[in-house]
Chain A
Amino acid sequence: MRGNMGRIVLVTGASRYLGSRIAENLAGDPGVDRVIGVDVVPPVVPIPGIDFIRADIRNPVIAKVMGDARVDTVVHMGVIATPKQAGGRSTMKEINVIGTMQLLAACQKTPSLQSLVVKSTSGVYGCGAKDPAMFTEDMEPKHAPTAGWPKDSSEVEGYVRGFARRRPDVAVTTFRFANFMGRHIDTAMSAYFSLPVIPTVLGYDARLQFIHVDDGLEILRRAVHARQVGTFNVAGDGVMTLSQAIRLSGHLRLALPEFLLTPVGRSLSSAGLLDFSYEQVRFITYGRVLDTSLVSRTFDYRPDRTTQEAFEDFLARGEEMSDVA
């Protein structure tokens, strides 16, 4: 019908940082006619150039919105990473899993839909001692995630695969991102690296990869145009060890045995300082590295910033703050 001319894109999770950034970028993209942002809460700052609809993707009203607007592309950014953002684990799970199911049900009933882009996480690979050094997209997790955001994301990917089978005419692109880093994004990892004394697991040094926010947004934007079917790992080039990252940050490292770290993490979490779940502890124990050759081949894409540069950009945030003060 519309071929490659202007798109009508619906972005879920548009009030949160990444969702609002991709909505804004797409609104400024000449190849995109209209961007509709959806979220349960309005954005803190209105996003220029987009139509914001305050709606819950868990509610069937979303199908009507999509049908009326003749949406052809959905960018699903609505999977929440931490219970704090959602106001509780059960709400988080409901938004993530039931929300995705509802969204996909709406997608299935929208004949104009041609493309679905899903932001997932490399957390779906889990992490542990039996992991291969690098994960390719076709590998099954050796230590499947058992809780929290990675578990939700695995379930979300499962439903997305189901949708892809039912609507083979829709190009479904799923990205498994390494941890986002940058000076403006707040994640569990950025909160962790902001601690003055950073607790780590004694006797382990995780291998980490980061993706800079701008690079992550760029691949999502390209996916809206490219309509590539498949699942792709996305991470900045290079690898850092946790100890190296802490040294670069200049913070202190406190190595604790694993059995002590979990209670410490729990008390930090309950103090609201950071999210320090079991999965998070496993991640800082073993870490995880992605093979990103598929995404570079398919999209002819190479992130502008390496893992270390993304992390250094995050560290530059401290400088900005001290400049203000």
Chain B
Amino acid sequence: MSPEARIIPIDAAANRLSPSKAARLVGNTGPQPAARRSTKVASAPPAGEATPPVEPPSDSELSALPDELRATLEQVWEFIERRRAGDYAVDEFGFDAELNDHVLMAILRPLYRSWFRVESSGLENVPATTGALVVANHSGTVAFDAMMTQVALLDDHPAHRHLRMLGANLVFQTPFLGELARKAGHTLACTPDAERLLGRGEVVGVWPEGFKGIGKPFSDRYKLQRFGRGGFVAAALRMKAPIIPTAIVGAEEIYPMIANAKTVARLLGLPYFPITPTFPMLGPLGLVPLPSKWFIHFGDPIPTDQYPDGAADDPMLVFNLTDQVREQIQQSLYRLLMKRPSVFG
């Protein structure tokens, strides 16, 4: 068990079902077989954890175990029970913080620590309690860069901040992906949602290169693509939230895209269909990302609160700020690349 692996919430007693509710649920329905999603939760234990029991361990079984492990198992069981009873809260965006922190992030954490060996820096540039807009470069065919940034802010930031990303509507149309994205706290890239999140003091993540960035050929690695329409800058200006230009090095090499099967992409309704040295040639094995060495640097924040109200409606200012953000990320990328001894460093 790796020492970093987080386990299920500690204050189990506080989260226990209220007796009346538990009684009602049980009395009402009797024991239920686990529903689909519960099964999913149950079968996705935090990394490095012992497989959670599917039946509550009996006292005699438990007493044979060391105290620490027993406490852990009890917490895991508590967690599964609570999930199965529906006794948890989601916010308006569908963000299921408990599921995100203890299951989804637990799956990504070994990738972050051991596979990509991500080194994060500049976390002091991300505010601890107020809203901010993290803007980063996008690459790697599959959006691991976004997910790793999320882990960086949750685990490495002293205030353990949740990164609320803005995604393309394709994400929310796609079965499973859309559901997971909502549960992990992400939402559609649109002005009302960006402003609502910033207004609530959340850290919002945008990848303004979009599919142009993530689906670019390997030969274009670390060359920033065009930055959308600057909608993210306007949102930050309106909410007076600082923009944090963020550079991610390493994601470009996880799935080096040597060609794009455009016809297949069109048939599947996807923005691109990657051909990498291993995919689709090696089949499922080709889905394993290459273990490149990663750096994530959160750069100096660009403040937006010194501009007057209505500055978001000044297209020249928005364009200039967009360029400034882009330039800062590009410079930061070059610096990080110089620092990295080799791709697999």
Q: Which residues of A contact B (CB under 8 A)?
A: 129-134, 136, 139, 201-205, 207, 238-241, 243-253, 255, 257-258, 289, 315, 318-319
Contact = CB atoms under 8 A, between A and B. Distances in A.
Nearest to A315: B28
B190 interface: yes
A251 B175 contact: no
A26 B25 CA distance: 36
Interface in B167-188: 169, 172-179, 182-183, 187-188
Q: Size range of the interface on B? A: 35 or more
Given A252-B32, A315-B28, A130 B37 contact: no
B325 to A, nearest CB: 24
A239 B182 contact: no
A205 B179 contact: yes
A136 B85 CA distance: 32
Contacts, number: 99
B90 A240 contact: yes
A205 to B, nearest CB: 5
Contacts of A244: 86, 88, 90
Given A204-B175, A207-B182, A253 B90 contact: no
B193 interface: yes
A134 B183 contact: no
A136 B192 contact: yes
27 contacts: A129-B173, A129-B178, A132-B188, A133-B192, A133-B193, A133-B196, A134-B192, A136-B192, A203-B175, A203-B178, A205-B37, A207-B90, A207-B92, A207-B94, A239-B90, A241-B90, A241-B96, A243-B37, A243-B86, A246-B35, A247-B35, A247-B85, A248-B86, A253-B36, A258-B175, A315-B28, A319-B28
Contacts of A252: 32-33, 35
A318 B28 contact: yes
Nearest to A201: B175
Ordered nearest first, which 8 A-B pairs have the shortest CB separation? A203-B175, A250-B29, A247-B86, A248-B86, A129-B173, A129-B172, A203-B176, A244-B86
Contacts of A318: 28
B28 A255 contact: no
Nearest to A286: B172
Contacts of B94: 133, 205, 207, 239, 241
* Residue among A133, A203, A239, A248 with the highest chain B CB neighbour number at 10 A: A133
A244 B33 CA distance: 15
With most chain B CB atoms within 10 A of its CB, the pick from A139, A241, A249, A318 is A241
Interface string B177-218: 111001100011010110010000000000000000000000
B92 A134 contact: yes
Contacts of B29: 249-251
A146 to B, nearest CB: 17
Contacts of B169: 129-130
A122 to B, nearest CB: 14
A318 B29 CA distance: 10
A319 B24 contact: yes
B250 to A, nearest CB: 30
B37 to A, nearest CB: 5
A248 B179 contact: no
B93 interface: yes
Contacts of A139: 192
B84 interface: yes
A247 B196 contact: no
A253 B24 contact: no
Contacts of A133: 92-94, 187-188, 192-193, 196
**Residue in B27, B94, B174 with the greatest tally of chain A CB atoms within 10 Å:** B94
Contacts of A238: 89
Nearest to A308: B89
B59 interface: no
B320 to A, nearest CB: 28
A253 B343 CA distance: 46
Contacts of B187: 132-133
Contacts of B38: 247
B61 interface: no
A242 to B, nearest CB: 10
B179 A204 contact: yes
A289 B90 CA distance: 12
Given A133-B187, A241-B94, A250 B192 contact: no
A131 B37 CA distance: 24
A136 B196 CA distance: 11
A286 B90 CA distance: 15
A240 B190 CA distance: 22
Contact of A132 (B84, B96, B192): B192
B91 interface: yes
Contact of A134 (B24, B33, B196): B196
Nearest to A139: B192
Contacts of B33: 252
A255 B35 CA distance: 10
A55 B171 CA distance: 51
Interface in B31-69: 32-33, 35-38
Given A244-B86, A247-B35, A132 B193 contact: yes
A237 B249 CA distance: 42
A293 to B, nearest CB: 11
B85 A203 contact: no
A244 B25 CA distance: 13
